[in-house]
A and B are shown apart, each in its own frame.
Chain A
Amino acid sequence: MKLIYPLLTGLLVLLHLSCTEQACDLDTEAFLNAGFYSAETAEAISLDSLTIYGINREDSLIYSMANTGKAALPLDPSGESCSFIIKNGDRTDTLSFQYIPEMIFLSTACGYIYNYRLADVIYSLNAIENILILNENVKPGDEENIQIFF
C-alpha cells in the first residue's frame, strides 16, 4: 500500500507534463542545399552578385544580386523535375533537377511535409564547370546536397 502514493503521484506528474499542447517547432520545408566551389582549387567560394529564380517564375527571385557561398533551392512537390536560372554576374546557367517527391507525416502539429530523392542534375556550362551530387536525400536542414564548381 505504501507504494501506491508515490506511484500515483509520479503518474500524475507525467500526465501533467504530457498534456502540454505542442506547437510545431521543426523545420517543415526541405531545400536542396548547394555549395559553391572553385573549379581550380576545389575550395569553397562566395559569389558576389548571384541571382536565382525558377524557370517561368522570373517575377519571383529566390536570390537577387546576393553575396553568398551557398544557395537553398525549393523543389516543386507537384512534379518530378524543376529548373532554375542561375546568374553569376553577366553569365547565366540553367539547372534542372530530377527527383522523386516523398510525402511524410511529421506530427499532428506540423502535418505532412515533402522530402525529395534527387535522381539527376542537368546543367549548362557557361559559368558552371561541374556539379557533384553529395547527398541525394533532400530533407529539412542544412546538409549540403550538391557542390557547384565555377
Chain B
Amino acid sequence: MKKTFRFSFSLILIICSISMEAQEADTVRARPSISAGIEATGPAMYFLDDSKYNFEGHLSYRLNYKYFLVIEPGYSKYNFEKYNFNYNSRGFFMRLGTDIGLLEPVATKIDHFAGIGLRYGISVFNQEAAGIISENYWGEHTSSVPSNRVHAHFLELQGGVKAEVFNNFLIGWAIKLRTLIYSSGKDEMKPAYIPGMGNTNSFIIPAVSYYFIYRFPLGAASDVSASSPEK
C-alpha cells in the first residue's frame, strides 16, 4: 500500500498546485488537439516483476475545454504460478471512451486536466494452464487446460490528472476501477487475468496508470461553453 499512498500524495500536490495557480476567472477557448502518449507503470513494473508485462498507448482528441475522445490500445502478457497450477495469458486489448474535465476553462488551467474518464474495453487473448494438480482420497491427479482464445468486455471508471510540465508535454496519472461485463471463457476456460483489465479476483478491479503524453495542437480554438465557469 506504500505505492498507493505515494501516488495519493503526488495526486493531491498536483491538484493543489493547479488550484492555487488559478484564482482569476480569465475564461479562454480550448484549442482542439490530438495527444499521444504511453502508459509507464506497465514497463516499469516489468523490471520489478517479470511475471506481468503490460504495454499500452494513450491517444486522445480534445473536442472542447471539457470533453476528450480517448483510445488506449495495448498488449499484455501474464504468468501466474501457484503450488497447484501455472497460468499464462497474453493478448491485445483496446479501451475506448471519454475523459471529462472538471477544471474551469481559464488560462491557467486550460492546458491541464483533472477529471474523470469512462471507458469500454475489449480484450482478445490466448490463455492456458498447465500443471493443475488436484489431490484427494484417490491420490494426486495432474491435468491442464490447452491454449484457447477468449474475448472479454469490461467497463472502466477513472479519476485522474494530467499536468503540462513543458510546452505541450504532459505528465499525469489516474486511478482506475474496472469491472467485467462479459467473457467468452466459461468453467475451466474462465480467465484468471484479462489483458487491459487485470485479475478477475473480484467484482471491482483496481489499477493505477502513469502517463507521459505529447499534445499536438490543431487549428483554432473551439468555443467555450456558454455557461459561466464554476468558481
Contact = CB atoms under 8 A, between A and B. Distances in A.
Interface of A: 1-5, 7-8, 11-12, 14-16, 18-19, 22, 29, 54, 57, 60, 62, 74-78, 82, 102-105, 107-109, 111-114
A109 B84 CA distance: 11
B195 to A, nearest CB: 15
B137 A74 contact: yes
B102 A3 contact: yes
Interface stretch (B41-49, B53-61, B204-212, B216-224): B204-212
Nearest to B205: A18
B184 to A, nearest CB: 14
A114 B138 contact: no
Interface residues of B, number: 48
A109 B11 CA distance: 32
Contacts of B143: 77, 103, 112
Contact of A1 (B19, B145, B206): B19
A90 B39 CA distance: 72
A103 B132 contact: yes
Contact of A103 (B8, B115, B187, B199): B187
A87 to B, nearest CB: 17
Contact of B4 (A5, A19, A75, A103): A19
Which of B143, B205, B230 lies at the interface centre, i.e. has the most chain A CB atoms within 10 A of its CB? B143
A4 B102 contact: yes
A15 B8 CA distance: 11
A105 B192 contact: yes
A54 B139 CA distance: 12
Given A15-B175, A104-B187, A82 B1 contact: no
A115 B75 CA distance: 34
A74 B85 contact: no
A47 B100 CA distance: 69
A3 B115 CA distance: 9
Given A14-B204, A111-B84, A57 B187 contact: no
Nearest to B85: A111
A12 B102 contact: no
B141 A54 contact: no
B24 interface: no
A75 B187 CA distance: 19
Interface in B191-207: 191-193, 199-202, 204-206
Contacts of A112: 84-85, 129, 132, 134, 143, 145, 188
A12 B175 contact: yes
B114 A1 contact: yes
Contacts of A114: 134
Given A102-B187, A104-B190, A108-B201, A11 B175 contact: yes
B230 A1 contact: yes
